Amino acid sequence: MKHVVTINQANLKESAHKGGCGNCQASCQSACKTSCTVANQKCEREEK
Amino acid sequence: MIHKYELNGLYIVLDVNSGGVHIVDELTYALLDHAAPPFAEECPPEILAAMSGYDPEEVRESYRELAALYEEKILFSPDEYEKFAAHAVASPVKAMCLNIAHDCNLRCQYCFASTGDFGTGRKLMTPETGRLAIDFLLERSGNRKNLELDFFGGEPLMNFDTVKEVVRYARSKESGCGKRFRFTITTNGLLLDDDKIDFINREMHNVVLSIDGRKEVNDRMRRTVGGKGCYDIILPKFRELVSRRSRDKDWYVRGTFTKHNLDFSEDVFSLYEAGFDQISVEPVVSDPACDYALTEEDLPAVFAEYERLAKRLLEQDKKGKHIHFFHFMIDLDQGPCAVKRLRGCGCGNEYVAVTPDGDIYPCHQFVGMEEYRMGNLHEGTFDTEMQQQFAKTHIYAKPACRDCWAKFYCSGGCNANNYQYQGDILKAHPLSCEMERKRVECAIMMQAVKAL
């Protein structure tokens, strides 16, 4: 494409179908404790 | 839904429901003010007329590219997640904040825990209560393998014997139960010594070291009981801990910025110059009446500072001096799944806090709010109806989140802040939302710069 560069896989939808295993970190347990952020957590599913 | 913005010379278009991030040229950025589904085979005349300042052939070409992205379902893609939210039910409890000490040896001006005791009296958790907390977590964690326990306070080093006993007890249960504990400790550092550093570096998966940045900024808010700033006491101890810490374990220096240091990127860089490259500096959340409180009038300055910080961090990267700034960390491909993003922090559902008395609350921020006491370890009680209620505090239950482009990044914000400042866990706290959106914009911009 000449006018648009897509920089990622845009795979949020696929992640919904095989997601929800719950093995990832609870988001408030990292550094924040006051300002919740979820998108910076890692997926820890053992079989992807 | 899309969100488009211009930052650092880039025209960025986020497709909210697929997570797609597109960098477009200025023409396409303008075209997106007019073009939207359904797309025609060719750019309609009225759109060409609206784009009269641009070469029509270029507009047609750009329009076709947008239509192709739409067909690929990575632009204007539909929201198909509400069905997952509709099935939200209580989860196993996998994470716990253990308020090991409702006491503190600092008197930080902005402390949400009322200088350590959460307004409930100064107390230390007994080893017995700590062991009961581990038993509760093991019993309630179902098939979750990774269990998280954060030693919090007050100041947990004031009750370090209980910390050690809880770790010993939890480790003794790991293999028999098929679980793995990951411990975190959050400390102000005053009581750190060689033995504690050794123990923490051996046992703790993550360490959060509280320091606000520049000496004058830190010492204005973070004072000892005698009223003196703590910077000179804690800095050498934090350096020692970090220098002896294994590289495969996490740690952060973590500060709070207030109205008094709206130039907080200086604090990030001050921490870096002091020898730390894992940094979190976060906005204070407080009663707007406090003189240090961030208010709506501060937002332009906060936004400008986040942008300045993002650009400064990118400059650092170019020099090969990377700084991990917690709130700008984002993985656009391998981040959490959509199901996690719907649920948010999980407080009151998969995450709870326990006080020295054994009282259970949805999280550390709810401690002391009697109406949100979920149970007590000694009484063997746990309010599973309240847990169900928290399981349903997903982004589709929050009116302000449903139509927010950032909902899959912040996942609904902090329920405790919502309750404390808006009176309802489902009502988003607008000031926090504004800052969160700005951080996400900066974080995505930084990823775009690195990807191009």
The ipTM of this complex is: 0.91
The beta-carbon contacts of B202-205 under 8 Å, at least 24 apart in sequence, are B203/B167, B203/B171, B204/B249, B205/B249, B205/B250
Q: What CA–CA distance (Å, rounded) separates A37 from B344?
A: 8
**Stretch among B116-120, B239-243, B306-310, B442-446 having the lowest mean pLDDT:** B116-120
Residue B116 has pLDDT above 90, yes or no: no
Q: Which amino acid is at B39?
A: F
Residue among B327, B302, B330 nearest B439 (CA): B327
What DSSP assignment string belongs to B62-113?
Answer: HHHHHHHHHHTTSSS-----HHHHHT-------EEEEE-EE--SB--TT-TT
**How much is the average pLDDT of B295-312?**
98
The answer to whether the CB atoms of A38 and B436 lie below 8 A apart is no
Confidence of residue B403 (pLDDT cuts 50, 70, 90): very high
Q: Which amino acid is at B209?
A: L
pLDDT per position as a tens digit, B203-259: 999 999 999 999 999 999 999 999 999 999 999 999 999 999 999 999 999 999 999
Q: What pLDDT was estimated at residue B54?
A: 98
Q: Closest approach of chain B CAs to the CA of A48, in angstroms?
A: 11
The answer to whether the CB atoms of A39 and B410 lie below 8 A apart is yes
Nearest chain B residue (CA) to A27: B345
Q: Closest approach of chain A CAs to the CA of B208, in angstroms?
A: 6
Residue B303 has pLDDT above 60, yes or no: yes
Q: What pLDDT was estimated at residue B279?
A: 95
Are B189 and B209 contacting, i.e. CB atoms less than 8 angstroms apart?
yes
Percent of chain B with pLDDT over 90: 88
Query: How far apart, in Å, do the first and last CA atoms of chain A sit?
Result: 30
Q: What CA–CA distance (Å, rounded) separates B185 from B181?
A: 13
* Chain A residues lying within 8 Å of B364, measured CB to CB: 33
Q: Closest approach of chain B CAs to the CA of A34, in angstroms?
A: 7
**Rg of the Cα trace of chain B?**
24
What pTM, to 2 d.p., does this model score? Answer: 0.95
Kindly state the helix (H) or strand (E) to which residue B339 belongs, with its residue range: helix B338-343
Mean pLDDT computed over every residue of chain B: 95
* Chain B residues lying within 8 Å of A44, measured CB to CB: 146
Q: What pLDDT was estimated at residue B415?
A: 93
Chain A within 8 Å of B65 (Cβ-Cβ)? yes
pLDDT per position as a tens digit, B22-77: 999 999 999 999 999 999 999 999 999 999 999 999 999 999 999 999 999 999 99
